[in-house]
């Protein structure tokens, strides 16, 4: 069951990557006065728990006008949503830092959010915290391809705190 849903999810993900990777014309790039970056991702939710592991898909938004250079690097707010194959959901907003090393980008983030269990894993509380690290490389001028790992936990706000470890394949596109 997981293999079939993962194949469907990956197929849809690759279709969107194809559509979104079509390059913009230079005239179109000049029209971008308020550029936004979207991170489309898919992967495995809670891969370390064989009983509750599931596929996931998600989207994350970042407004590039809100970037700030600081002693921590380039930081910006991010917001996003993910859903698993078991109908668990996570709606989040937080902050990320970005470190560019040539064509390679390292992006750690921290995002508190609201978790809905659906038919998925009970993480112990409505409020959960996601710590993530993403490694991506510049694919085209306005696109990146990457891999990320995250841990979602309630920081012992609930009676139990099992946490969930996930990995994702990411496609980032600036509009």
**97 CB contacts (<8 Å, ≥6 apart)?**
72, 73, 74, 75, 107, 108, 109
Determine whether 133 is exposed, middle or buried from the number of CB atoms within 10 Å of its CB (0-12, 13-18, 19+). Answer: middle
Confidence check: pLDDT of 66 > 90: no
pLDDT, tens digit (0-9, with 9 covering 90-100), for 115-149: 999 999 999 999 999 999 999 999 888 899 999 99
Query: Three-state DSSP class for 30?
Result: helix
Contact criterion met (CB below 8 Å) for 61 and 80: yes
> Which position has the higher pLDDT, 115 or 13?
115
pLDDT at 113: 94
pLDDT at 17: 52
Q: Within a domain: residue 126?
A: yes
Q: Within a domain: residue 130?
A: yes
Among residues 35, 32, 41, 10, the alpha carbon closest in space to that of 145 is found at: 41
Q: Which domain holds residue 128?
A: 63-162
Instruction: Kindly state the average pLDDT of the residues 61-67.
Output: 82
Q: How many domains does the chain have?
A: 1
Q: Within a domain: residue 43?
A: no
Query: Residue 23 has what DSSP assignment?
Result: P
How far is Cα 115 from Cα 112, in angstroms, rounded to an integer?
Answer: 10
pLDDT at 7: 61
**10 CB contacts (<8 Å, ≥6 apart)?**
42
pLDDT grade for 24, boundaries at 50, 70 and 90: very low
Confidence check: pLDDT of 29 > 50: no
Q: Within a domain: residue 129?
A: yes
Q: Within a domain: residue 39?
A: no
pLDDT, tens digit (0-9, with 9 covering 90-100), for 81-115: 999 999 999 999 999 999 999 999 999 999 999 99
How far is Cα 93 from Cα 87, in angstroms, rounded to an integer?
Answer: 20
Residues in a beta bridge with 172: 39, 144
> Which position has the higher pLDDT, 13 or 86?
86
How far is Cα 113 from Cα 164, in angstroms, rounded to an integer?
Answer: 14
Contact criterion met (CB below 8 Å) for 168 and 41: yes
Q: Within a domain: residue 128?
A: yes
> Which position has the higher pLDDT, 157 or 18?
157
pLDDT at 28: 46
Q: Within a domain: residue 113?
A: yes
How far is Cα 93 from Cα 129, in angstroms, rounded to an integer?
Answer: 10
Confidence check: pLDDT of 42 > 80: yes
How far is Cα 102 from Cα 133, in angstroms, rounded to an integer?
Answer: 18
């Amino acid at each position: 069951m997981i293999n079939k849903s993962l194949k469907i999810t990956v197929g849809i993900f690759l279709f969107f990557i194809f559509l979104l990777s079509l390059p913009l014309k230079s005239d179109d790039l000049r029209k971008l006065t308020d550029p936004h970056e979207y991170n489309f991702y898919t992967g495995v939710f809670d891969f370390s728990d064989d009983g509750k592991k599931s596929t996931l898909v998600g989207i994350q938004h970042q407004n590039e006008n809100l970037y700030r250079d600081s002693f921590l690097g380039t930081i910006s707010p991010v917001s996003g949503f993910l859903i698993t194959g078991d109908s668990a959901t996570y709606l989040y907003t937080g902050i990320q830092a970005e470190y560019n090393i040539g064509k390679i980008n390292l992006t750690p983030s921290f995002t508190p959010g609201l978790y809905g269990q659906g038919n998925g894993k009970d993480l112990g509380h409505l409020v959960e915290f996601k710590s993530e690290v993403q490694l991506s490389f510049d694919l085209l001028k306005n696109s990146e391809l990457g891999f990320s790992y995250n841990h979602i936990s309630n920081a012992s706000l609930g009676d139990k705190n099992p946490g969930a470890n996930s990995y994702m394949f990411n496609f980032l596109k600036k509009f």
